[in-house]
Structure 1
């Protein structure tokens, strides 16, 4: 019995030393928590981007990639991150006014999109129709 209690005490001391005495273990926990928070923010941003992309797909009949490109174009023109631009667009859909700068950027992006779409759908010059 004496020997068992010594082993248990030694095990507890080793465990305590590994948990409290090791500075890198504490730093690992802090780093993992920071990474977890970052991933949560990224997922939340992703959801609003997907929602805004769906709105663009409904309003401007286009595919997912084109809708995302349009959102990226607006975010670049306004010098904001993509989740912020997407959140502003979703908020506008829900009744909050879209900032004037973002309205202008959205108009420019839509004009560019429609101009490119027109070129893709037009016939090549000099082509024969059989």
Structure 2
């Protein structure tokens, strides 16, 4: 019976982890959509920009995405993210062939 209880605990932990991953993915997809509209660019370029922003700010991708999505609700983007986003957008536009 102990092995069954341990398996249930393990499965619940995995379920919780998957639910968190799905929630993170939703906000990341929303942020990608916002970048695609702002830039305009492809979904891959939007993803790359968010990853770049995450790395330059030294925060998790889901944190960057959540902060960007929160701006749609009139929340200010943290100043460091604002600076890094401007730089990432400049790099994105510089890389796009005209």
Q: Fold match, TM over 0.5?
A: yes
The Cα of 1:25 is off from its aligned counterpart by 1.1
Counterpart in the other structure of 2:14: 35
Runs of 4+ in 1 over 3 A off after TM superposition: none
Distance 1:30 1:47 in 2: 26
TM-score by length of 1: 0.73
Number of residue pairs aligned between Structure 1 and Structure 2: 98
Provide the alpha-carbon RMSD of the alignment: 0.8
Structure 2 gap segments, 5+ residues each: none
Q: Once the two structures are superposed, what CA deviation does each residue of 1:49-95 show, in whole Å capped at 9, x if it has no partner?
A: 11110011011110000001001111111111111100000111220
What SS does the corresponding residue of 2:59 show, helix, strand or coil? coil
Aligned residue runs from structure 1 range 48-127, under 5 A: 48-117=27-96, 120-121=97-98
Higher relative contact order (CA 8 A, sep 6+): 2
Q: Once the two structures are superposed, what CA deviation does each residue of 1:8-46 show, in whole Å capped at 9, x if it has no partner?
A: xxxxxxxxxxxxxx2111111000000000000000000
Distance 1:26 1:111 in 2: 54
TM-score by length of 2: 0.96
Larger radius of gyration: 1
